[in-house]
Amino acid sequence: MELVEESPYRFRIDRHEPMRVPGVVFASRSLLPDAGADRSLEQVANVATLPGIVGASYAMPDVHWGYGFPIGGVAATDVEAGGVVSPGGVGFDISCGVRLLAARLDRADLGPRLDALMDGLGAATPRGMGKGAVWHLADRAELDAVLRGGSRYAVERGYGVERDLTRCEDLGAVDDANPAQVSERAVERGAGQVGSLGSGNHFLEVQAVAEVYDEAVATAFGLRAGQLCVMIHCGSRGLGHQICTDHVRAMEKVMPGYGIHVPDRQLACAPVSSHEGRAYLGAMAAAANYARANRQLLAHAARQVFTRITGAELDLVYDISHNLAKIETHRPDGAPRRLCVHRKGATRALPPGHDDLPDDLRPVGQPVLIPGSMGTGSYVLTGVVGSPAFASTCHGAGRVQSRKQATRAVRGQDPRRELEAQGVAVRGASRRGLAEEMPAAYKDITTVIEAAEGAGLCRRVARLVPLGVVKG
């Protein structure tokens, strides 16, 4: 794939048939995917063929190969001009995202209680591939209430406080969810998992604020140097996976009737305004609400443990998703247009002054939460005015090794011992699970953040370091 370097952090894939727009990759040279091992740049070009796509097919600094869209891919389609929605542009873990809670306690005051805290969090956090959850729903009606109400319904039921909603994307729930578009199989997979971590790269981590780059913004977010935090990374579990599977199949069948041809069947799509497009968006919104309730429940369990062990409370900094398609108004050519913005492994990063921000955050912008690989630092950033990719930025470090490659790379080593030697307490993960997520499997998070900032996508506020991790 031929790339034209436009600036140190921006590369262009020139438009050629059947591309409708160019591709744009925000990265430094060291972060560009290895064309021999990773075909994500080819996927960037494929996404550029989608009907109604506006501006460019974008890739974030953490870009790597995914299903249809690259992970770290952003694309917006014009709803009124036949623009499509593609489940591959959201992914299987719908509304997978990050929730950050800040403790009213500093690292220096934790003393010898870290082990007890990690034991408590490990015991209170359901995780792994199977069932087990903080909240055991009574029936389908209660699950439907979760699918419609997300974090709002969880808070109504006593799992959290009202402030949690103002510090959550969409005030805790997407309003146009349609549980009727969620299949019975998806319901079966999700019914017993509300308030569970899952496996893979999902985690609950105790962290400390190591550096603050912008005191004023950090204060507005509720962060200070030395402070303890809890970060939760998880999504919509089996329910979201099944919804993606179901709607990809449905769209594959109807594309010819809409005259849509894509270079990769994994880009199955339908016009946003079509029956199939609306059905997917309604089901996707239901899964997004499930994911937010999921993180709300896990945060509730973590709060109880944190208060019991330390006597301190946890306040929500923010909750943001990085696998969603949203109908938003942007001005790509100066005039307002309704766009379906796909963010697949990419985080919305609203700038200061944006109407969708709560009053206390509007002057400083939206908190952007970017976890690093296990055992490395994570970053809190903020959105900036004039972001070149529909107010989007990266979502993590980005894999450079498959899970099998990562496991082979640490053969004969003890990942748990290596992490504990770095001062990171580990609870609940198998050796294989740890091996798949070791830092060598990922790009360097600091380099990724430098590229995102250098490309004008966001701005650093604080860096957090891990003290202990709970994994499936």
pLDDT in tens, 101-127: 999 999 999 999 999 999 999 999 998
Structure tokens at 190: 């999700």
pLDDT at 406: 77
Four-residue CA torsion sign, 300, 301, 305, 308: positive
Q: Are 453 and 393 in contact (CB under 8 A)?
A: no
Give CA–CA dist 57/262, Å, rounded. Answer: 14
Q: Are 72 and 63 in contact (CB under 8 A)?
A: yes
Residue that is written with structure tokens 């591309």 in the block: 19
CB-side neighbour CA atoms (13 Å) of 397 = 22
pLDDT at 130: 65
Q: Establish whether 395 is a catalytic residue.
A: yes
Q: Are 174 and 337 in contact (CB under 8 A)?
A: no
Q: What is the overall mean pLDDT for the chain? A: 94
pLDDT at 138: 81
pTM of the model: 0.96
Residue 130: burial class (beta carbons within 10 Å; 0-12, 13-18, 19+): exposed
Give CA–CA dist 225/212, Å, rounded. Answer: 6
Q: What is the pLDDT along the chain (472 residues), one digit of tens a residue?
A: 799 999 999 999 999 999 999 999 999 999 999 878 899 999 999 999 999 999 999 999 999 999 999 999 999 999 999 999 999 999 999 999 999 999 999 999 999 999 999 999 999 999 877 667 888 888 899 999 999 999 999 999 999 999 999 999 999 999 999 999 999 999 999 999 999 998 888 999 999 999 999 999 999 999 999 999 999 999 999 999 999 999 999 999 999 999 999 999 999 999 999 999 999 999 999 999 999 999 999 999 999 999 999 999 999 999 999 999 999 999 998 899 999 999 999 999 999 999 999 999 999 999 999 999 887 899 999 999 999 999 999 999 988 888 788 788 777 788 888 888 888 899 876 778 787 887 788 899 999 999 999 999 999 999 999 999 998 7
pLDDT at 437: 80
- Nearest alpha-carbon partner for 250 in 70, 242, 340: 242
pLDDT at 43: 98
Residues in Cβ contact with 105 at an 8 Å cutoff, skipping those fewer than 6 apart: 227, 228, 310, 312
331-356: burial string, b at 16+ Cβ within 10 Å, e else = eeeeeebbbbbbbbbbbbbbbbebee
pLDDT at 429: 67
Q: Which among 241, 322, 342, 395 is annotated as catalytic? A: 395
